Amino acid sequence: MRLLASTDLALRVLMYLAAQPPGPPVNVETLAAALGGQSRNHLHKIVQDLGALGMVRTMRGAGGGVLLAAPLDQVRVGELVRQLEGDQPIVECFRADGCCCTLIGNCRLSGFIHTAREEFYRSLDRHSVADCLPARRSALP
Domain count, the chain: 1
Task: Report phi then psi at 63, rounded to 5.
Answer: 80, 5
Q: What is the pLDDT of residue 114?
A: 84
Residue range 40-94, pLDDT digits in tens = 899 999 999 999 999 999 998 888 899 999 899 999 999 999 999 987 767 666 6
Q: How confident is the model at residue 33 (pLDDT cuts 50, 70, 90)?
A: very high
Looking at the chain, the whole-number percentage of residues with pLDDT higher than 90 is 55
Q: Are 110 and 41 in contact (CB under 8 A)?
A: no
Structural domain boundaries enclosing 101: 5-139
Domain CATH number, residue 29? 1.10.10.10
d(C-alpha 93, C-alpha 140), whole Å: 40
Distances from the Cα of 97 to the Cαs of 87, 101, 110, 125, in angstroms? 12, 11, 15, 29
Q: What is the pLDDT of residue 81?
A: 95
The predicted model scores a pTM of 0.83
